[in-house]
């Protein structure tokens, strides 16, 4: 067994950059692991690379690392601190020992698949390791600054680390023998050349779907994104909705001394790249196991770990890097749709029926163009949605010709004509002067509700009490569910599409128009059984509706009235997708964005996202509590045009409450619950002036950068001073 396995390690997921030593231009971005033993004063940086040989000349390149703990998000400091590293080894992986090549050769698939480590430029379509092509290497680096001292001083979030797939030439018990698929979580920094603030420490969730017989290669259904190479692939011990797989693979955890500890990360290997079918019909993420990696590292690590590593404590200086910033990694993508020619978790056991609180919204502009989105009914007879759902664009304040809102899963409809739509009377746009958060409130008057009753709504006041208790705040890894009228919404009255997934990341920044225009095709990796169930119900009930119309059954429209009720209205089963929180970003002490793997499709904009917490109920039993997380704004789109429906960008409840606090002084208290109370007064996120939120120019710039998916802070590269 390699000597590295005899040590209790701790780690941080990191982002790595290799830059030109003279121009400071960014060249390559990687993910990696910063592995330390505080007791033995050992530290290693390990990653994978696919660099061409000409970039391995140490004289012309410099390498730097950063992590979430080194990104300063205070109001006074706007820096991403990068610490210089020394590349100590490029351990080249030869063709004859590359497990991916062996797999493709064995299965006769060389001509049918392409391997790549990037979705943009510099991609390698052939993993043949020749001098003129990119060569796979295991990269070992050492920090040349006292970075460990720095991280300890700021209480960095080190986690215990365990090599699950230990290299052991004498014992086959180290092999991964659990039944596939195996749930995993991935820690990396995708888009690390352009948006480190947003994606540092980003988590994704999926499954190991294939492993080779030597336990050196894994294939996963998780989407590979730029700069994820070198990131961590870990066992997901918190997989809420695949308990069966957890039970089937429990012996994997039992075989390892630290695996039963929930505070310890049990790691399978490092992310390698993407294996794509040449005809474009599919792709899988490639992961190299620790068994394979440690076998190659053992000759180097054994000689160094046998004694304490002497660290030079050098004075450091900060150098602002100058480089080209024209790397378009990811684009926010509107999730409204234009109307052409005009798991095992039982959510039914929760205490609310969230689909009843979701509304469909169709809007007709003054040119007759129709588009739709979604919204969420709040308990004060307000509907919260995105500004671009109502006004089509964040920059526009032009009142539309008509707004139609479908309540109660399409059973009731409210119509607001142009002369009935009044800013600051029934349409409210918080922070509108700043054009940052894509947020809009629609007040539903008591007169509007005279013909029907809203079945369910989100009680924010109750949730404020829970949030102030600090017991139910959302966290990375929490289960989530998104609901919205994406894809299938019929302006004549279809029901909500529901999609559940875990929150991937929460980002605190100002929101802008971040939703892209989409025709409504889904490229998400949703749970197949759930998707099939939803699609089957959709077409079945659509056929029922068509049959009713053929038989002359009323569609529920009521000429001459701004409300309608359809006693025969169909109810579509919501689309559901289960996942986890991947990232939480907080700027200016405000949770400003949440990224979730719950799908956001065309038409989902403004729809609700909910998260779940296990709490002890009144009877002393564990209950699954459903809580409002926020509203969907957009998904992501790669610069090659591919839509990432499972990259769901969300305005969290924190921002929604802040918006309600701002508009509370102009809401008619007789028709709406007064939100300007003591509970809201506790939400002192930012300065107020005359009852309105006041943002500084710096804050506005940060928020706009965030929702444009551009870097928020300035890179500062710290290197040793010359003696």
Alpha-carbon distance 198 to 195, whole Å? 6
What φ, ψ does residue 289 adopt, rounded to 5°? -75, 160
Q: Are residues 374 and 516 in the same domain?
A: yes
Q: In this structure, what token pair is assigned to residue 595?
A: 């990224």
Out of 277, 294, 320, a domain closes at: 320
| Overall average pLDDT of the 282-307 stretch | 84
Kindly indicate the confidence band of residue 257, based on its pLDDT and cuts at 50, 70 and 90.
Answer: very low
Is 127 buried (19+), middle (13-18) or exposed (0-12) by CB count in 10 A?
A: buried
Kindly indicate the confidence band of residue 680, based on its pLDDT and cuts at 50, 70 and 90.
Answer: low
The predicted pLDDT at position 656 comes to 92
Residue 204, C-beta contacts closer than 8 angstroms, at least 6 positions apart = 185, 186, 188, 222, 223, 504, 582, 597
Report the CATH number at residue 280.
2.40.10.120
Mean pLDDT, the chain, whole residue set? 73
Assess if residue 245 is contained within a domain.
Answer: yes
For 498, the enclosing helix (H) or strand (E) is strand 497-499
Q: Are residues 313 and 376 in the same domain?
A: no
Model pLDDT for residues 344-354, shown as the tens digit of each residue: 444 444 444 67
Q: Are residues 591 and 658 in the same domain?
A: yes
Assess if residue 157 is contained within a domain.
Answer: yes
For residues 573 and 482, the model is more confident at: 482
| Overall average pLDDT of the 467-474 stretch | 67
Alpha-carbon distance 378 to 384, whole Å? 7
| Overall average pLDDT of the 470-486 stretch | 83
| Overall average pLDDT of the 165-176 stretch | 43
Alpha-carbon distance 476 to 204, whole Å? 10
Q: In this structure, what token pair is assigned to residue 384?
A: 């919260």
Assess if residue 282 is contained within a domain.
Answer: yes
The predicted pLDDT at position 319 comes to 25
- The residues that bridge with 283 in the sheet, in sequence order, are 276
The predicted pLDDT at position 267 comes to 93
Q: Are residues 443 and 315 in the same domain?
A: no
Q: Are residues 254 and 378 in the same domain?
A: no
Assess if residue 717 is contained within a domain.
Answer: no
Q: Are residues 342 and 284 in the same domain?
A: no
56-60, 386-390, 708-712: the lowest-pLDDT one:
56-60
pTM of the model: 0.78
Alpha-carbon distance 601 to 575, whole Å? 11
Residue 534, C-beta contacts closer than 8 angstroms, at least 6 positions apart = 497, 498, 573, 574, 575, 576
Instruction: With a cut of 80, say whether residue 385 has pLDDT above it.
Output: yes
Q: Are residues 635 and 584 in the same domain?
A: yes
84-88, 428-432, 621-625: the lowest-pLDDT one:
621-625
Kindly indicate the confidence band of residue 720, based on its pLDDT and cuts at 50, 70 and 90.
Answer: low
Q: For 534-577, give the DSSP string.
A: HHHHHHHHHHHHHHHHHTT---S--TT-SEEE-TT---PPPP--
Q: Are residues 281 and 356 in the same domain?
A: no
The predicted pLDDT at position 638 comes to 85
Alpha-carbon distance 127 to 101, whole Å? 7
Mutual angle of helices 653-663 and 460-468, in 10-degree steps: 120
| Structural domains counted in the chain | 2
Q: Are residues 305 and 354 in the same domain?
A: no
Over its C-alpha atoms, the chain yields an Rg (Å, rounded) of: 26
Assess if residue 505 is contained within a domain.
Answer: yes
Model pLDDT for residues 198-250, shown as the tens digit of each residue: 999 999 999 999 999 888 999 999 999 999 999 999 998 765 444 434 444 44
Q: In this structure, what token pair is assigned to residue 217?
A: 């290669």
Q: Are residues 342 and 308 in the same domain?
A: no
Q: In this structure, what token pair is assigned to residue 713?
A: 């802070």
Assess if residue 551 is contained within a domain.
Answer: no
Assess if residue 325 is contained within a domain.
Answer: no
Model pLDDT for residues 264-280, shown as the tens digit of each residue: 888 999 999 999 988 87
Q: For 601-617, give the DSSP string.
A: -TT-TT-EEEEEEEEE-
User: Are the beta carbons of 582 and 505 closer than 8 angstroms?
Assistant: yes
Q: Are residues 305 and 392 in the same domain?
A: no
45-49, 329-333, 405-409, 485-489: the lowest-pLDDT one:
329-333
Kindly indicate the confidence band of residue 259, based on its pLDDT and cuts at 50, 70 and 90.
Answer: very low
User: Are the beta carbons of 622 and 614 closer than 8 angstroms?
Assistant: yes
Is 316 buried (19+), middle (13-18) or exposed (0-12) by CB count in 10 A?
A: middle
Assess if residue 543 is contained within a domain.
Answer: no
Q: Are residues 361 and 475 in the same domain?
A: yes
Query: What's the domain range around 184?
Result: 3-320
| Overall average pLDDT of the 638-659 stretch | 89
């Amino acid at each position: 067994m390699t000597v590295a396995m005899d040590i209790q390690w701790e780690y941080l997921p990191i982002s790595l950059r290799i830059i030109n030593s003279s121009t400071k231009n960014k060249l390559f971005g990687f993910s990696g692991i910063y592995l330390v033993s505080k007791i033995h004063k050992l530290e290693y940086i390990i990653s994978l690379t696919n660099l061409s040989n000409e970039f391995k000349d140490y004289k012309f390149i410099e390498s730097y690392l950063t992590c979430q703990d080194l990104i300063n998000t205070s109001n006074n400091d706007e820096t991403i601190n990068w610490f210089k590293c020394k590349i100590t080894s490029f351990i080249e992986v030869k063709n004859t020992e590359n497990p991916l090549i062996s797999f493709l050769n064995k299965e006769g698939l060389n001509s049918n698949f392409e391997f790549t480590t990037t979705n943009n430029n510099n991609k390698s379509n052939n993993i043949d390791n020749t001098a003129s092509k990119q060569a796979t290497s295991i990269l070992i680096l050492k920090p040349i600054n006292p970075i460990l001292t720095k991280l300890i001083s700021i209480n960095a979030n080190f986690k215990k680390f365990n090599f699950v797939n230990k290299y052991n030439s004498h014992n086959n018990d180290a092999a991964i023998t659990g039944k596939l698929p195996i749930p995993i979580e991935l820690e990396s920094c995708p888009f690390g050349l352009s948006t480190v603030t947003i994606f540092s420490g980003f988590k994704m969730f999926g499954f190991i779907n294939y492993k080779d017989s030597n336990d050196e290669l894994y294939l996963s259904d998780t989407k590979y994104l730029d700069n994820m190479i070198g990131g961590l692939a870990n066992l997901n011990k918190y997989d809420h909705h695949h308990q069966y797989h957890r039970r089937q693979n429990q012996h994997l955890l039992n075989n390892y001394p630290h695996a039963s500890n929930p505070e310890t990360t049990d790691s399978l290997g490092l992310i390698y790249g993407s294996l794509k079918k040449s005809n474009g019909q599919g792709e899988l993420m490639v992961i190299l196991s620790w068994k394979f990696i440690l076998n190659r590292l053992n000759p180097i690590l054994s000689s160094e770990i046998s004694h304490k590593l002497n660290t030079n404590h050098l004075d450091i200086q900060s150098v602002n890097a100058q480089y080209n910033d024209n790397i378009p990694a990811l684009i926010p993508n509107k999730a409204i749709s234009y109307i052409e020619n005009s798991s095992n978790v039982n959510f039914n056991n929760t205490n609310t029926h969230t689909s009843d609180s979701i509304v469909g919204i169709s809007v007709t502009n003054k040119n007759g163009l129709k588009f739709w989105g979604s919204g969420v009914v709040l308990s004060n007879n307000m509907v919260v949605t995105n500004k671009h759902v109502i006004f089509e664009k964040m920059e526009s304040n032009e009142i539309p010709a008509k707004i139609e809102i479908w309540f109660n899963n399409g059973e009731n409809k409210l119509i607001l004509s142009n002369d009935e739509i009044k800013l600051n009377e029934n349409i409210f746009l918080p922070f509108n002067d700043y054009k940052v958060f894509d947020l809009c409130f629609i007040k539903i008057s008591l007169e509007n509700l005279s013909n029907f009753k809203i079945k369910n709504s989100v009680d924010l006041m109750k949730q404020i009490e829970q949030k102030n208790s600090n017991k139910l705040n959302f966290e990375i890894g929490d289960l989530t569910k998104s609901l919205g009228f994406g894809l299938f919404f019929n302006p004549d009255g279809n029901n909500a599409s529901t999609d559940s997934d875990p929150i991937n990341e929460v980002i605190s920044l100002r929101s802008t128009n971040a939703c892209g225009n989409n025709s409504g095709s889904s490229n998400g990796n949703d749970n197949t059984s759930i998707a099939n169930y939803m699609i089957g119900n959709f077409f079945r009930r659509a056929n029922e509706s068509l049959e009713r119309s053929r038989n002359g059954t009323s569609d529920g429209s009521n000429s001459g009235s701004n409300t309608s009720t359809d006693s025969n209205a169909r109810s579509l089963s919501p689309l559901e997708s289960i996942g986890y929180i991947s990232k939480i970003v907080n700027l200016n002490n405000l949770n400003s964005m949440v990224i979730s793997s719950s799908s956001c499709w065309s038409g989902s904009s403004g729809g609700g996202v909910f998260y779940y917490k296990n709490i002890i109920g009144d009877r002393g039993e564990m209950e699954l509590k459903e809580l409002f997380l926020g509203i969907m704004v957009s998904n992501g789109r790669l610069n090659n045009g591919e839509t990432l429906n499972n990259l769901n960008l969300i305005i969290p409840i924190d921002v929604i409450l802040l918006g309600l606090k701002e508009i509370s002084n102009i809401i008619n208290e007789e028709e709406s619950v007064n939100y300007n109370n003591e509970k809201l007064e506790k939400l002192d996120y930012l300065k107020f002036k005359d009852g309105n939120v006041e943002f500084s120019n710096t804050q506005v710039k940060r928020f706009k950068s965030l929702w444009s998916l551009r870097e928020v802070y300035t890179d500062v590269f710290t290197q040793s001073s010359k003696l």
